[in-house]
Structure formats: C-alpha cells, structure tokens
Amino acid sequence: MKNLNPESSILEMPLLQGYEYPIDDLEPLHDLLSSWRLEFLYQTLLDQLIDMKVLSIMKSEHVNELLNEFPLGIKILFNHYLENWQNTQNVLSNKINTKSVHEESAFDININLSDILTTSSTGTMIIDYYKTNNKFNDNIRSLLVETVINYIITKKIPMSVNLANYFGNQIVKMFPSEVKDTYFMKNETNKSPKGKLYAKYYNSIRSLKTSGLIPSNDQAKVPGKSLIHVHFEPETGIEYILDQIMHDKSCSFSDLKSNWRATTNYRLNEIQNTTSISEILNKWSSFKLPFGYRLIDIDFCTLHPNCPNLLSTFEDKSKKVMDLLNEKIKDITSRILFESLKNSSNINQNGKNTVLFYLLHAIFVPTSKKVTKDDNGKKSLVKYSIKDSQNSFIVFKNSVDEIEDYITCHSKEKNPIQPCILIVGTPIDPKEILICFHTIKYKVFSIVNAIDVCFKIFHLFNLEYPSQSCIVWIFIQRYFYSLTTKFDKPCHMLGQILSDLSKN
C-alpha cells in the first residue's frame, strides 16, 4: 500500500504495477465530494482508483457496484449529483470543441462555479448571504470574484474571453439578481473585454509578476474609437425658411423656433457630415443666441425622439440616486460633503441637486489615465482622480470675473472649450450657472437645466465626453435619458448599478 497526504491525513490506495494514480486529482475529488456532502465516500473511491477522468465517464451500473455496501439512499444521492456534474462537463466540452486549441486549454480542468464556492469557506458564506438577502453588495461581489480568480490561478487555467464569458453566465444563473456586465462584458467597438473577472485576474497576475512569482511578459493593447453618423432626409421646399433663419435679424424668437423645427432634418444632416464645429456654429449662428440652447433642444428631440425629458423625470429618479450615494461613497472628502447635505436644512433644492451630480464622481471613479511631465521632462502615466473627473464636469469659481478669466485662459489653448458647466459659488450654494461651449455661453438658472443642455450639446454635435468624467456622463445618459448606443464606453460596474436602481 502507498501513503498519500493531500490535507494532513493518511490515505490508503492500492498499488498496481505500471499504473500511477493522478495525484493532482486528490484535492479536486475531495472538494467535489464535499460539495455533495458525501466526503465520507472519499476513501471508497480511492480504494477503487477512481480519479476525475474516471468519474466523468462513470455510469449508474458502476455506481451500484462501487457503493454495493452502502444504503440505497446514498447510492441515489451519489448518482444524482454525479449525473448533474457530468452534464455540466458535457456542456462545457461541447462548447469548447468549436474553439481554438489555445481556448480549449482553459477548460481542460473541470470547472463548476457551484463546486468552487461550496468547497471554499468564503464561497459558502457568499451563498448563505445571497439566500438571506437575495442580492449582493459591492464587497460581496469583490469576494465572489476573488474566490473564482484564486481558483483559476491556483489551477493554472489561462484567462480567455470564453472563460470569463462562461463564468459571467454561471454567476447570473446562480445569482439571478446579478448583472453579467459587472463580471464580463465585450464591447462591439473595443476588442478588450471588461468586467470584474478580467480586471481581478490581470491585477493578480501583474502583482505575481511584480513579486517575481511568475515570469513577466509585455503586452500592448490599442483601443479604437468610432463616431456616430446618421443620415437624415432633408426637408424639401424650405429655401425661404432657410433664408429667413440665416439673414432675418428682426425675426422673433418664437418665429425662429417654428422655422427651426421646419428645417431640423436638413440641419442634422449637415451637422452629421461636417467635421468642423466652428463651421456649423458660423452657418447656424442662431445657436449663439442667449436662448440658443432651446434650439439645441429642438434638434436633439428629433435626433433622439424617444428620450424622456430630464426636467420631468429628475425628481423621482434623483431620490434613488441619493440612496445610491449614501450606500456607495467611500472617499472621505466626498462622504463629508454628502453628510453635510443630509444634515443641513439650509441648502436649497438647486444646491442639493448640484451636490448630487458632483458626488456621482465619487461612485463612478475614473479609470482613464493621463500623461504627466515632471520638471525634467520625464513622462509618467497617472490615473485620473475623483477631483479630475469633477473638474472636467463642473468648474466652481468665486466670481464672474474669475469665470471670464478661466474662459479666456482656455480660449488661448489650441483646442476649443468642450461643453462644460461653470458655476459662481460652491456645490452647496451655486449662485450663477453658465454652460460654456466653444465660443458660446448660455446662462441658466438650475443645475438640472445645465446638465440637460450640456448633455444635448455632446449628442447633437457628436462630441466625445471628457475622458476624466466619461463614466459619469454615460450613467446620466443611461439612467436619466434611457439612451444606449453601441459606442458607449464599457464600464463593468455601470450595468449592475443601473439594474439595482431599476429594481428599487
């Protein structure tokens, strides 16, 4: 007889000349039986030299022979769990047969999410938590991903798109309130997959490489960008109306809006086919009027006719956002601002709404990076901060003169000013609100109106969101405007938060 010691216990196994039991199967076999609550059969299987491969092809008659000395109930349970496990392996095997050899290798080891979790103390607690609460919080999601990735790395299973996709599907199947995008998502215009699984795996691998535990190798990824181009069939017989829009300076604003509506398709088609914003603004100079943002609204409603009106839906939806902020804000500075909002009775509604939008950046922390230079000209890559995100979204100044200085300073730079909200005052006490875009300034009287105008400028003129605050803008787009495009930048946490908000 031969002694083996997988977990500080002595196991007896028969010796056969020319046959070597696969030692690596000892632990998975024990873990699998434990997940079935049949670990007392472990020694019985070893006595008959049953490994994971044998288990995968075992039939019911073999079970009867193997367990002939055990009660019928044990035979029925073992046979039931065995058939379920074999079916899972067969599904995986069928999927893998259509993949490349490299992708195939990711599934050479039998993988089952339930087995991974039930054989881990953390995994068992995760399952129990879900049974009690019927949902996860962010900490539980991180523990779930960590448990899965630790298993993958321990078993030396290479990460692949198919593997991450498989586990994403398994997670939402086992925990129905979860959203797959949280764990795995593949954007149509971006070849790099996103989600907690990929991020955790490669962060762990990077840490192991840094420590020297695994060899290092360099990889480069180049993301791609696409712009939206939509064709609008121009209206016919509008020459006189166009002439009036372009040249009649005495036209009332009410008449201008009527003329604007009558020529929307014509103008949208021009905007979509012109790369110069200056050219558009010079030709359609009415955009520069103090109430030009109302003309932007007319064109946007034609561009996206199914978008809800932010001004009418904000009040109800903002209540859920406040609960979201209370649950998820971890940044100390942001938490202090949020607590002052909750505990003060002297903040008006405009101040409350401004703080709400300002603190979204503490939840949707930027993932983009910027290149910086030190005094010696050395370049380094630095991740954008919450403050970077906030400053690209709303700029606060102490006076109108400071705002004018800010605009003048940025106008001297090579790039025109992107749509930006400028406020005289503080988040809690906004006194004056301006939207600055290119050479245009619009004055509005509420932060909700400012967000609405700024958002519609981005979409009407086909502009990209600032990289620093891109995720916040996409959240606003998806949650408040119910607008999704195939060009949205993927964000693994966005789908889960939107799902949670829709259920509350």
Q: Which range among 147-151, 220-224, 393-397 shows the weakest confidence by mean pLDDT?
A: 220-224
- Relative to beta strand 420-425, strand 394-397 is parallel
**CA proximity to 113, closest of 100, 99, 127:** 127
Cβ burial, residue 32 (10 Å; 0-12/13-18/19+): buried
- Position 62 scores a pLDDT of 93
Cα dihedral angle (321, 323, 328, 333), rounded to 10 degrees?
80
- Reading the block at residue 437, the tokens are 């875009």
Q: How many CB atoms lie within 10 A of CB 9?
A: 10
Among the listed residues 402, 405, 433, the one whose alpha carbon sits nearest the alpha carbon of residue 420 = 433
Instruction: Among 86-100, 153-167, 212-226, 419-433, name the one with the lowest average pLDDT.
Output: 212-226
For residue range 232-285, what is the model confidence (pLDDT) as tens digits?
Answer: 677 778 888 998 898 888 889 999 999 999 999 999 988 888 778 888 999 999
* Residue 357: strand, helix, or coil: helix
State the residue for tokens 């490349």.
100
| 499 or 377, which is more confident | 499
Tokens coding 154? 């321990």
The whole-number pLDDT of residue 226 equals 37
pLDDT value of position 102: 38
- Mean pLDDT confidence for 360-375: 79
Copy the structure tokens of residue 90: 């067969």
Residues found in the chain: 504
Question: Which one-letter DSSP state was computed for residue 136?
Answer: -
According to CATH, what is the number of the domain 23-95?
1.10.150
Token pair recorded at residue 10: 């002595």
- φ, ψ of residue 443 in degrees (nearest 5): -100, 125
pLDDT value for 6 = 40
- Note the pLDDT tens digit of each residue in 307-316: 998 988 898 9
Least confident of 95-109, 121-135, 146-160, 358-372: 95-109
Identify the DSSP state of 2: E
Q: Give me the pLDDT at residue 222, please.
A: 28
| Euclidean distance between CA atoms 266 and 41, whole angstroms | 77
CA dihedral 27, 32, 36, 39 (to 10 degrees): -20
- pLDDT surpassing 90 at residue 357: yes
CA distance 325 to 362: 8
Which of the residue ranges 50-54, 68-72, 96-100, 473-477 would you say has the lowest mean pLDDT?
96-100
Residue 434 has phi, psi (to 5 degrees) of -125, 145
Q: How confident is the model at residue 160 (pLDDT cuts 50, 70, 90)?
A: confident
Find, among 108, 105, 85, 102, the residue nearest to 24 by Cα: 108
218 pLDDT exceeds 50?
no
> How far is residue 159's CA from residue 149's CA, in Å, rounded to a whole number?
9
Q: What average pLDDT does the chain have?
A: 82
Can you give the residue ranges of every domain in the chain? 23-95, 134-211, 238-303, 310-368+382-395+444-497
Tell me the C-alpha distance between 75 and 313, whole Å.
59
Q: Give the pLDDT of residue 100.
A: 35
pLDDT digits (tens, 9 = 90+) for 493-504: 788 888 888 876
Task: Say yes or no to pLDDT of 479 above 90.
Answer: yes
Count other Cβ atoms within 10 Å, centred on residue 213.
9
pLDDT score of 453: 96
Spell out the residues 6+ positions from residue 290 whose beta carbon is closer than 8 angstroms to its own.
442, 443
Q: Are 75 and 64 in contact (CB under 8 A)?
A: yes
Q: CA–CA separation, 12 vs 1, rounded Å?
A: 7
Q: Is the pLDDT of residue 190 over 50?
A: no
109-123, 337-351, 371-385, 400-414, range with greatest mean pLDDT: 337-351
Which one-letter amino acid corresponds to residue 102? H
- For the ranges 130-134, 337-341, 450-454, the maximum mean pLDDT occurs at 450-454
Confidence bin at 490 (pLDDT 50/70/90) = confident
What is the per-residue DSSP string for 176-191? TTS-HHHH-B--TT-S
Q: Which residue has the higher pLDDT, 344 or 402?
A: 402
Beta-bridged to residue 436, according to DSSP, are: 420, 441
**Which residue did the predictor score with more confidence, 460 or 493?**
460
Q: How many CB atoms lie within 10 A of CB 412?
A: 7
Cα–Cα distances in angstroms (integers) from residue 504 to residues 359, 484, 501, in the given order: 20, 21, 5
pLDDT at 414: 59
Q: What is the pTM of this model?
A: 0.61
DSSP state of 194: B
Percent of the chain with pLDDT over 70: 82
Tokens 């949020």 sit at which residue? 338
Q: Which two tokens stand for residue 128?
A: 């129990």
